[in-house]
Amino acid sequence: MTREVKTVCKVRGITLNYKASQLVNFETIKDLVLKRRSNSTVKVRTDKKITRKRIDGACVSIVKEPEDKIYRVTFFKRLRKDDNSSVPFRYK
């Protein structure tokens, strides 16, 4: 029995292949959260994303086309404090 440590990174909306996992990983996400830059983003490009296209309103065709996704940290429902904790909006 080996005591091997593994980390798993799951990102919503981004297909994590080898190329994407080099750009979006735990260290990248940690830096985005702790540095708190509002303009910090990571752009992930998939060269051959398989998608469905509707042709003439009836026929569906499956095609491969490039896709760009932008990953950024957002806080829609909570307010971040200076010590990196968060509280709900209107918290007193």
Report whether 41 contacts 14 (CB < 8 A): no
Boundaries of every domain in the chain: 18-86
Res. 2: pLDDT tops 80 = no
Structure-token pair, residue 28: 């990248």
Mean pLDDT score, 8-13: 80
Q: Read off the pLDDT band of 1 (50, 70, 90).
A: low
d(C-alpha 16, C-alpha 10), whole Å: 8
- Give Cβ neighbours of residue 77 (< 8 Å, ≥ 6 apart): 88, 89
Report whether 29 contacts 49 (CB < 8 A): no
pTM of the model: 0.60
**37-87 pLDDT tens trace:** 666 888 888 888 888 888 777 788 898 999 898 888 777 778 877 787 888
